[in-house]
Each structure stands twice: as structure tokens, then as C-alpha cells.
Structure 1
């Protein structure tokens, strides 16, 4: 009978010393994994770094980017990402070909250049997120960049404006990517 008791006691000690700590470690690991997942993928509109802000209006995005949306623009789309230090905004719309020169002249001191390359990968990801046409589909793009101060803030914003090719009377696609900079 004492052999049975010793075997049972041994199993209890194995359970207490090995299995229980492993189960506890697994539970702590799972909680840490879930907490890290919530930090990596915050809820939209939470205002936490990395959150995608869907409650902002086109006017607010236009003020952040310092790029006005002309009255004749159609299919306007916008988005805003709250960053840990830097916030980013994207804006896309189509503009009648006749309004392009007036639009570009109304922007700050933008320097315009021709380019065969699209915006950087961060801009592409955010433009895809708002459902804007893909700038990779354009063979050549015209782009301008400028830095401005946000009204009432000490932040400066670097804006990139990309224009798709103009083909007669068809509307020109405009993409805007802006990020606040130190």
C-alpha cells in the first residue's frame, strides 16, 4: 500500500513542479501575446499610435496636407493615420484637365518635376487603403513637394502631390501624401 501512496505522491509533485508552472507560463505568454497584438493593431479611431482615423473629414485632411480640394474635383478619398511621433494623411481625387494649371499654381512653393517612379511604399499602402487608383499604373507622373506649417501649431508638414498623365479632356488623377516632420 505504501508503494501506491509513494507513486501517487510522486505524480502530485510532478504535477505541482512541472505541469502547473508550464500551464501558468503558457497563460502568461498568451496574455502577453494578445496585449502585443492590440498594440500592433489598434482599433480604428482610438487615437492610439498606428490607428486609422476614419472620423476626420475631407476638409480636415485638406487643412493638414495644405492641399485644397478644388470645387470641380470628383471621387475625393482621404485617410489619416495617427503615428507615435508622425501623423500621415493621404488624399486622392480626380480633377478636370482644364483645372490642373490653376490647381498647381494655387499650391505653396511646390517644385514640379516629371518622374517615372511612384510614391514611396508608405504612401502606396495608405492610398490603397482609401481605395484610390493605383499610381503604379501611370507610366509618368508629375510631382511637387513642399513643406508648410500647420495653422496654430508648431508642426511642419511635408506634402507630396502626384499628378497622373493628362490625356485630352479626361480627368487627371491627383494623389497627395503628407507627413508631419520635426
Structure 2
């Protein structure tokens, strides 16, 4: 009879341990998953200092690869070069920003193949320019003169075309001129 009493006394204990283990599993597992997701999002928003692309979307592409994607060369005298890349569900997007001396702007603009240049709408209304904040590019809202050039190019070895939008702007009308580039696959 001692063994039956022992079994009946240990059964509630086992159930309690089982319930405690299940509750622990149901609480700890989601909390761990949430913590892991939070860490991944923070790593994407704040890449390491040595990535070369502060605040970039994806840190696996070089500035040369972004330049090739957008078909916009980065001039030798460019400074404060920043870039980012997003691989989308169907289309990829690349952004780039750099500064040029006022002397180099005309030759840079002329080197962009079939770009159609015109005065641009005020910067705050343009969503493409707002996307450039992901790479830490200067805010274009205070720019005095803003010109935009748009052109479509074909990437070698790819079936999709890339539409590139390039903005040139200066806050003071003198050095340096800020260049913003937004490029996206188009059908």
C-alpha cells in the first residue's frame, strides 16, 4: 500500500512540473524570439561603424556596385559618399549621395547620357528624396536651387531596366553641390 500512496502523491507533483515547464516554454520562447527580432531590426537600422555606409539599408554592396546599378559614376573628386541598397520583392532600389565642387557639376551632369534636366519640385514632396535619409544623406529641404535629371538605362546581363533620378542642389549657390541619386528597377 505504500507504493500506491507514493504514486498518488507524486502524480500531482509531476503535473505541477509539467504545467510549470509548459508555461515557461510559452513565455520564454516568444520573449526570446521577440528579442532576436528586435536585435535584427536594430542591426539593420544601425550598422557597425566599419560598414562604410552609415544608416544604410543593406551593407553588402560597395559604392562601385551601386554606381553600376544606377549607371551614375561617382566622380574622382566626390566627397562624403554614402550609399544604400534594398532588395525588393520584385524590384531593387539603390540610393547614393555625395558632394561635388561647383566646377565639376556641369561635366558630371553632361556625362549622364540621356538625362532630361529641369528644375525640380520642392524637396519635401518628393518621396524618393525622403528615402535617402536611410543612408544619412543631407536633408534637401533647405536647398535653394534644385535640378533633377531622369534617365532609363539597361543593365548588362539583366532583363529589367533601371530608372535613375539624380538631383543637384546647393544651399548657398557656391561649393559644394550636393548630389542625390535614386535608382530603381522598372518593367
Determine if the TM-score, normalized by the shorter chain, exceeds 0.5: yes
Query: Could you tell me how far apart the structure 2 residues matched to 1:33 and 1:167 are?
Result: 47
Q: TM-score normalized by structure 1?
A: 0.71
Query: Could you tell me how far apart the structure 2 residues matched to 1:76 and 1:24 are?
Result: 48
Q: Secondary structure at the match of 2:80?
A: strand
Equivalent residue, structure 2, for 1:53: 59
Taking structure 1 as reference, are residues 104 and 165 closer, same or farther at Cα in structure 2, changes over 3 Å only? same
Higher helix proportion (structure 1 or 2): 2
- 1:86-121 C-alpha deviation (Å, 9 max, x unpaired): 332222222222332332222133232322124426
Equivalent residue, structure 2, for 1:124: 130
**CA contact 2:170–2:176 (8 Å) conserved in 1:** no
Q: TM-score normalized by structure 2?
A: 0.69
Structure 1, unpaired ranges of 5+: none
Match of 1:13 among 5, 12, 15: 15
**CA contact 1:142–1:165 (8 Å) conserved in 2:** no
**CA contact 1:97–1:166 (8 Å) conserved in 2:** no
Q: Secondary structure at the match of 1:154?
A: coil
Q: How does 1:166-177 map to 2 (within 5 A)?
A: 167-177=172-182
Q: Secondary structure at the match of 2:64?
A: helix
Q: Are positions 1:64 and 2:69 aligned together?
A: yes
Equivalent residue, structure 2, for 1:33: 34
Query: Could you tell me how far apart the structure 2 residues matched to 1:98 and 1:13 are?
Result: 80
Q: Are positions 1:99 and 2:104 aligned together?
A: yes
Q: Secondary structure at the match of 1:103?
A: helix
Structure 2, unpaired ranges of 5+: none
RMSD: 3.6
Taking structure 1 as reference, are residues 29 and 12 closer, same or farther at Cα in structure 2, changes over 3 Å only? same
